[in-house]
Amino acid sequence: MRVDGACHCGNVAFEAEVDPDTVRICHCTDCQVTGGALFRANIQAAGETFRLTRGEPKYYIKTADSGNKRAQAFCAECGTGLYSTAPVNPTSYVLRVGPIAQRAMLKPAQQIWCQSELPWTPRFDGVARRERQ
Domain-wise residue ranges, the chain:
2-129
Any alpha helices (H) in the chain, and if so which ranges?
29-35
Question: What CA–CA distance (Å, rounded) separates 42 from 48?
Answer: 18
Any alpha helices (H) in 6-113, and if so which ranges?
29-35
Q: What is the pLDDT of residues 81-126, one digit of tens each?
A: 999 999 999 999 999 999 999 999 999 999 999 999 999 998 898 9
In what order do the strands lie in the sheet containing 24-26?
58-63, 69-74, 81-85, 92-96, 40-46, 24-26, 110-112, 128-129
Q: Predicted confidence band at 133 (pLDDT cuts at 50, 70, 90)?
A: low
Q: What is the pLDDT of residues 22-56, one digit of tens each?
A: 999 999 888 899 888 999 999 999 999 999 999 99
Q: pTM for the whole thing?
A: 0.91
Q: What average pLDDT does range 74-79 have in this prediction?
A: 97
Of the options 3.30.420.40, 2.170.150.70, 3.60.10.10, 3.20.20.10, the CATH number for the domain spanning 2-129: 2.170.150.70
